[in-house]
Amino acid sequence: MRYLFLVLSVLFLHCKQENTMQQEPFKIHAFRLKPGQNLKKEIEAYARKENIEAGWIMTCVGSLTQTNLRFANQPESSKSTGHFEIVSLVGTVSMHGSHLHLSVSDSTGQTIGGHLSGENLVYTTAEIVLGESTQLIFTREQDGSTPWKELQVRKR
């Protein structure tokens, strides 16, 4: 696990992105969700509890018994029940709002993904590692470029 953190840290520090500084200090948060917990609700609650203003999903592994995903260009979410492996969770996380996409696979390996919505219930575990910028603030605001609240990045 330490090796994973080291590799991710080195990769992050060598990437130069808009609104960030190379070798920006950041924090790492790691926590585990237990059976029956709601993936999105618990991640957002953790961000509020820890006062995370600019975070992102570094990794997540685990399983779900229920998914609730909104697929591309669809107005409503689709709910599925069964046993699913989390194969990817990506996105931004903040006490001011989040934007998360999830991919899961079923027992045949069929994989599906979309915008994380509603209840996505943990089956056995969800092991989550978040990165947190100490120099940025993420908010979600309507800026006129789309009908939705979109990511706005500010320096602290």
The per-residue DSSP string of the chain comes to: -HHHHHHHHHHHHT---TT--TT--EEEEEEEE-TT-BHHHHHHHHHHHTT-SSEEEEEEEEEEEEEEEEPTT-SS-EEEEEEEEEEEEEEEE-TT--EEEEEEE-TT--EEEEEE-S--EEEEEEEEEEEEESSEEEEEE--SSSSS-EEEEEE-
Distance CA 51, CA 6 (A): 24
Cα dihedral across residues 135, 138, 139, 145: positive or negative: positive
Mean pLDDT in each 10-residue stretch from start to end of the chain (156 residues)?
Answer: 48 47 81 98 98 98 98 95 98 97 97 97 98 97 94 96
CATH architecture of 26-155: 2-Layer Sandwich (3.30)
The 10s digit of each residue's pLDDT in 79-91 is: 999 999 999 999 9
Instruction: Tell me the two tokens of residue 18.
Output: 């808009």
- 81 vs 117: CA distance, rounded Å: 14
| pLDDT for 24 | 73
Contact of 136 with 142, CB cutoff 8 Å: no
Note whether 156 and 136 are within 8 A (CB): yes
Looking at the chain, the number of H-run helices and the number of E-run strands are 2, 8
pLDDT score recorded for residue 74: 94
What DSSP designation does 38 have?
B
